[in-house]
Amino acid sequence: MKNISSKAPKAAFSTRAIHSGYDSDTENGALTPPIYMTSTFAFDSAEQGGARFAGEEEGPIYSRLGNPTQSILETRLADLEEGEAALATASGMGAISAAFWTLLAAGDHIVADKTLYGCTFALIEHGLKKFGIEVSYVDCCNVEEITAALNENTKLVYFESPVNPNLRVMDIQKISDEVHRFNSEIKVIVDNTYCTPAIQQPLMLGADLVVHSATKYLGGHGDLIAGAVVGDAETIQRIRFEGLKDMTGAVIAPMTAFLIMRGLKTLELRMQRHSETALIIAERLQQHPAVEVTYYPGLPTDPYYDLAKQQMSLSGGMLAFELKGGLEAGKSFMNKLQMIKRAVSLGDAETLCQHPASMTHSTYTPEQRLAHGVSEGLVRLSIGLEGVEDIWQDIERGLLA
Ligand code: 3LM
């Protein structure tokens, strides 16, 4: 089967997640894509090498510039996110930093949501700012706050939806429309790690670029670190040859690209199961007397429920909550868990529990956490693929404690 995505009518998401970008006819019939474990590629002639470097002839050169296994993954990711092109990277932070270093220069201004994954916040706060880029943190749930912050130097608007770790949801379509009305050149970048394209496709809602930590649901098995940027072909090409090739060198390993493709085959199935179980757990947490507040956009009482229904096909596997006893109760809950692992990361088959203030969001100072909406007592759960009653039994044990 040739690149299935080019056939009309378009194949189903799950079909494309399995087949897109790979033609077994050209690979000795191999069912799964070969892993090209090579750092460099031989040229037929000096002229051919020169032509490849000059961009006059297509073909591999050196694996920091691209590798055939990586290319199959990139075609597949672009297809699933409905983008023209994708770039796979060594980590989610590699993807975000390659995009930032390509699109920004000293004197530029960016608008970012006030709550970001801890290392993304640190990259902006300790990286971009050091190199003369101005930052406005705003509440991106309030589109007027974004438009009020835009100025003639603004080059990009950056947010996660839902947000790690507090699960606020942004109106991607409205933000993209308003930002582009102000200046169509400004790039709206959405971190789609929590949803994956199986749930939400920001490019279809008007965003310019999507970034991912592929370490999470895309890989799906907790056995790799990787990232991706998806968008229009011209921008992705720039990020590949500036931000990736020359500035970060954050190249994905061929074996890792293979493992992500293995994960993608079950992405839609997994997201359905993660979402189903997370909703049941969120409902039970919400009703539990020890719980002060539960954050999950799939709960009808959640302030983001309607918006999430509009732009997400499922509610996802991530939830967070605060216990009535605050920080101490949260820690004691975590220490009582038996099956559920106390670990950062998310999107794995195993249910994981972590404390953002002292772990993923410890890059913020306590004052910054307060200002940026990460409460000290918040506990985050990445709901896995185990049986729902087994997950609940462990959580209930923790809550009783
Ligand atoms: C975490 N997050 O446990 P990598 N964007 C988002 C993310 O959640 C992450 C990245 C980007 C976690 C990692 S904390 C030390 C563990 C929304 C990562 C960065 O570079 O692939 O880790 O992605 O929340």
Show the tokens assigned to 76.
């597949």
What pLDDT score was predicted for residue 267?
99
299 neighbors 283 (Cβ within 8 angstroms): yes
Average pLDDT over residues 219-242: 98
What pLDDT score was predicted for residue 7?
52
Whether residue 290 has its Cβ less than 6 Å from ligand 1: no
- Give the sign of the dihedral formed by CA 202, CA 182, CA 187, CA 170: negative
Question: Ligand 1 pocket check: which of 345, 351, 361 to mutate, most ligand atoms within 8 Å of Cβ?
Answer: 345
What pLDDT score was predicted for residue 160?
98
pLDDT tens profile 132-185: 999 999 999 999 999 999 999 999 999 999 999 999 999 999 999 999 999 999
345 CA: nearest ligand 1 atom: 3
Instruction: Identify the helix (H) or strand (E) that includes residue 319.
Output: strand 318-323
Domain ranges, ordered by start, for the chain: 13-264, 268-399
360 CA: nearest ligand 1 atom: 14
Q: What rounded mean pLDDT belongs to the chain?
A: 97
Q: What count of other Cβ atoms lies within 10 Å of the Cβ of residue 1?
A: 13
What pLDDT score was predicted for residue 105?
98
- Catalytic residue status for 117: yes
CA distances from 236 to 89, 143, 210, 341 (A): 12, 27, 11, 37
Catalytic residue among 113, 191, 208, 394: 191
Whether residue 164 has its Cβ less than 6 Å from ligand 1: yes
What pLDDT score was predicted for residue 9?
84
Nearest Cα to 164, choosing from 133, 142, 188, 190? 190
- Catalytic residue status for 216: yes
Average pLDDT over residues 365-372: 95
Helix locations, 196-245, DSSP H: 233-238
In CATH, the number for domain 268-399 is 3.90.1150.10
What's the CATH fold of domain 13-264?
Answer: Aspartate Aminotransferase; domain 2 (3.40.640)
Whether residue 224 has its Cβ less than 6 Å from ligand 1: no
Whether residue 213 has its Cβ less than 6 Å from ligand 1: yes
Is residue 1 pLDDT above 50, yes or no?
no
Do the first three CATH levels of 13-264 and 268-399 match, i.e. the same topology?
Answer: no
| Residue 356: exposure state from Cβ atoms within 10 A (0-12, 13-18, ≥19) | buried
Catalytic residue among 117, 194, 295, 296: 117
% of the chain beyond a pLDDT of 90: 97
Q: Which range, of 2-16, 17-31, 81-95, 122-136, averages the lowest pLDDT?
A: 2-16
The arrangement of strands across the sheet holding 379-382 comes to 291-295, 318-323, 379-382, 352-354, 341-342
Is residue 401 pLDDT above 70, yes or no?
no
Per DSSP, the residues of 119-146 read: HHHHIIIIIIGGGT-EEEEE-TTSHHHH
pLDDT tens profile 94-138: 999 999 999 999 999 999 999 999 999 999 999 999 999 999 999
| Three-class secondary structure of residue 267 per DSSP | helix
Helix locations, 224-266, DSSP H: 233-238, 254-264
